[in-house]
A and B are shown apart, each in its own frame.
Chain A
Amino acid sequence: ETGVTQTPRHLVMGMTNKKSLKCEQHLGHNAMYWYKQSAKKPLELMFVYSLEERVENNSVPSRFSPECPNSSHLFLHLHTLQPEDSALYLCASSQGAGVGYQETQYFGPGTRLLVL
């Protein structure tokens, strides 16, 4: 596969469940991102990882927990979510992030999450 892939594409979970979203990039990039896309709202940056280290955390609730085991994989662990967390979660990657980088971000297809 090429580009940025995300699994699962759709997820329904209860408020007491624990689930994980997976993102994989096949572009040789060093930076990865999680975004939240809600209806009628701009995309919200959640987390940024550069070279497997978190460089940005936009005050995201602790019920969202990211993990970046290597530069190709990014996870978003979910637990005790709320109905308002229902949204499309997009993963992206870029060549780099941080000082001196202004690189194009390439997006995956997203995971549509519904919290009941």
Chain B
Amino acid sequence: AQSVTQLGSHVSVSEGALVLLRCNYSSSVPPYLFWYVQYPNQGLQLLLKYTTGATLVKGINGFEAEFKKSETSFHLTKPSAHMSDAAEYFCAVMDVNFGNEKLTFGTGTRLTIIP
């Protein structure tokens, strides 16, 4: 069974500092990996996804993530945090197993930006 672990339920960074949100996954087959962001009182919005090909994936709002198979990781980064990045971030894995394309989500990481 697939699973996702997000280390750190809360992360605080100063405005302008590097953002690093950690995600490790467990999957029996090569996975598709996703990062979603949830702003207060809103639904989830796709930031980026990895399916195949280049392991460094660029998303919206300056975020990127790198798929590292050897480490079973898909950490999310942004070089310089902005106040508008304050939100909850969810990592998700989808097993590429025909007939069972379910998203399994992590518990989320709440990102706080310190002025």
Tell me the A residues contacting B by CB distance below 8 Å.
Answer: 4, 6, 9, 40-43, 45, 48, 56, 90, 92, 97-110
Contacts and interface: CB of A to CB of B under 8 A. Distances in A.
A90 B43 contact: yes
A48 B42 CA distance: 21
A105 B43 CA distance: 11
A42 B43 contact: no
B101 A102 contact: yes
20 contacts: A6-B43, A40-B9, A42-B104, A43-B90, A43-B105, A56-B102, A90-B43, A90-B44, A92-B43, A99-B98, A99-B99, A100-B98, A102-B51, A102-B101, A104-B46, A104-B49, A107-B43, A107-B45, A109-B42, A109-B43
Contact of A105 (B4, B42, B96, B103): B103
Given A98-B101, A99-B98, A101-B101, A42 B107 contact: yes
